[in-house]
Amino acid sequence: MATFNRNLLFLLALGAALPRRAVAQIASEVTQPPNGDNQRAEVSQWIGLVKVTVDYHSPRVHLQGRRDRTGHIWGELVQYGLFDEGFGPSRAAPWRAGANESTTLTVSHDVKLEGKDLKAGTYALFMKLEKTGPWTLILSSNIGWGAFQYDSTKTVLSLPVTPEDAPFTEYLTYGFTDRLPNSAVAYLQWENKRIPFRIDVPNVNELYIAQMRRDLQAWAGFNYQNWQSAAQFAVANNIDLEEALVWANKAIEEPFRNAAAGRADFSTYSTKASVLRALGRDMDADTTMERAMRSEGAGAQQIHQYGMSVLQAEKKEKAMEIFKFNRQRHPDDKFFPYLGLARGYTALGDKKNAIANWEVVLKNIPPGLEGNRPAFERALQTLKSAP
């Protein structure tokens, strides 16, 4: 007893002499391998800007030195319904959907899980098994430890999921499949079953726009091309078009006054025109494209492509004006201006002028476009053989 008292006094004195942090370290648990060698695992998947992460411990079917548990997982090792594991306050808990500590699902932004709204955050993930019919996936705001502290009043989502037959999987594994720009299917797979659940990000483009908005107020905003790219994204996805028009203008003018220069060229004017057209302001879009064609550096191919888009919109007379302007603007280019005129006169039914321009085209095909020669020759032959 005397020895014990001396040792106790020594430890108390040592504790008083050490910094508080050192005492805490002495009192804390040492790091040990996970219980049952159920290794910790983590899997993440991005859905657009949304990061989805499952953190879990992964049991296996065959335990080293113990019996084969194949065929004894579902309904035996993992019981049906709610059950009492004999620990903690909960006497009716679902499966922790893994081993050891609570399995957690973390979403960085609001999403939809199997069609139901789920706020950004981290949740404990449980499953309630059924002998027949769908199982129940449960998300709880109470992380706890395993299912021992399961509290049904903390349930955030409870929804049906359908188990499927799957190839044998030794280790309990989470993963993602059917990965699309705005959705993915997460799944748990173990032994001979897979349990999928779909995650949707219905506002994925709005999230991108919001991030672009933040980016453009930072370093990215000093490059006019970033304003242009953001405007093009908005047009491509028909979202926030009024703001996209502001961005398109900044690409042309000064994004940041006296700090970054815009560029008034065919490309930036074309971007602005596309925004105006998406807003239904066709006359303003046409005026902007007139500026684009007359801007410094506007190339013969760029003007030709614009003319072709107008021709494809069945605006033949307007397209011809563009093709003629291209010939006037680029008199030394013997290919693109003449190709436009050949297409335009063909569309208008002017056989004589169409043939004359096709013949010039065929004499001046650039090396990189030689693959189009057969199509050009067929177009000319069709005209010549027409009555």
How confident is the model at residue 82, as a pLDDT? 85
CA end-to-end distance (rounded Å), the chain? 123
Where is the domain boundary, 174, 200, 226? 200
Residue 13 within any structural domain of the chain = no
Q: Does 341 lie in the same domain as 239?
A: yes
Does 251 fall in a domain? yes
Nearest-angstrom CA–CA distance, 278 and 45 = 33
Sequence-separated (6 or more) residues with CB below 8 Å from residue 118:
107, 110, 111, 112, 139, 156, 157
DSSP 3-state of 77: coil
For 249, half-sphere exposure in the C-beta direction (CA atoms, 13 angstrom radius) is 8
> How confident is the model over 187-227, as pLDDT tens digits?
999 999 999 999 999 999 999 999 999 999 999 999 999 99
Q: pLDDT tens digits, residue range 60-91?
A: 998 876 678 888 899 988 999 888 777 777 77
**Can you give the pLDDT at residue 15?**
39
pLDDT in tens, 25-55: 444 577 778 877 788 899 999 999 999 999 9
378 occurs within a structural domain: yes
Strand partners, 157: 139
Rounded percentage of the chain residues whose pLDDT exceeds 90: 76
Contact 195, 186 (CB under 8 A): no
Task: Judge whether 12 lies within some domain.
Answer: no
Tell me what the mean pLDDT of segment 308-335 comes to.
96
Residue 228 shares a structural domain with residue 313: yes
Q: What is the pLDDT of residue 63?
A: 82
Using DSSP's 3-state secondary structure scheme, residue 301 falls into: helix
CA distance linking residue 153 with residue 155, whole number of Å:
6
Q: Are residues 180 and 323 in the same domain?
A: no
Give the domain extent around 132: 35-200
**160 and 272 co-located in one domain:** no
CA distances from 200 to 74, 184, 203, 297 (A): 29, 7, 9, 45
In a domain, 243, yes or no: yes
For residue 15, tell me if it sits in a domain: no
Are 127 and 155 a contacting pair, CB within 8 Å?
A: no
Average pLDDT over residues 354-373: 95
Q: Decide which of 140, 173, 200 is a domain's last residue.
A: 200
What CATH number corresponds to the domain at position 355?
1.25.40.10
The reply to whether 347 and 237 lie within a common domain is yes
CB 251 within 8 A of CB 268: yes
Do 240 and 187 share a structural domain? no
Q: If you average pLDDT over every residue of the chain, what do you get? A: 90
Q: Do both 298 and 241 map to the same domain?
A: yes
Residue 354 clears pLDDT 50, i.e. is over it: yes
pLDDT at 66 (0 to 100): 67
Is the sign of the CA dihedral 102, 108, 111, 117 positive or negative? positive
Residue among 80, 102, 72 at smallest CA distance from 192: 72
Residues 297, 189, single domain; the answer is no
Q: Are 324 and 304 in contact (CB under 8 A)?
A: no
- What would the mean pLDDT of 351-375 be, rounded to a whole number? 95
Could you identify the residue written with the tokens 């679902």?
A: 94
Specify the 3-state DSSP secondary structure of 123.
Answer: strand
Q: Which of 4-18, 158-172, 373-387 has the lowest mean pLDDT?
A: 4-18
User: Is pLDDT of 320 > 80?
Assistant: yes
Query: Are 368 and 224 part of one and the same domain?
Result: yes
- 110 plus 239 within the same structural domain: no
Q: Residue 4's pLDDT band (boundaries 50, 70, 90)?
A: very low
pLDDT of residue 204: 96
Give the closest residue to 56 by CA, choosing from 69, 73, 39.
39
pLDDT digits (tens, 9 = 90+) for 159-176: 999 999 999 999 999 999
- How many structural domains is the chain composed of? 2
Q: Which residue is it, tokens 């242009």?
A: 228
| Mean pLDDT to the nearest integer, 281-297 | 96
Contact 289, 276 (CB under 8 A): no
Per DSSP, the residues of 155-222 read EEEEEEE--EEEEEEEEEEEEEEEEETTEEEEEEEEEEEEEEEEEE-TTHHHHHHHHHHHHHTTGGGG
Q: What's the pLDDT at 240? A: 97
Sheet-wide strand order for 164-180:
116-118, 111-113, 183-200, 164-180
* Residue in 200, 174, 195 with CA at minimum distance from that of residue 110: 200
14, pLDDT greater than 60 = no
Tokens representing 318 are 């307007």
Among the candidates 156, 177, 200, a domain finishes at: 200
pLDDT of 322 > 90? The answer is yes
- For residue 365, the model assigns a pLDDT of 96
58 in any annotated domain: yes
Shared domain check, 330 and 188: no
The reply to whether 72 falls in a domain is yes
197 vs 158: CA distance, rounded Å? 12
Kindly indicate the confidence band of residue 230, based on its pLDDT and cuts at 50, 70 and 90: very high
What share of the chain has pLDDT > 70, as a percent? 92
Q: Please compute the mean of the pLDDT values over residues 331-357 and round it to a whole number.
A: 96
Does 194 lie in the same domain as 210?
A: no
Query: Given this model, what pLDDT does residue 68 score?
Result: 81
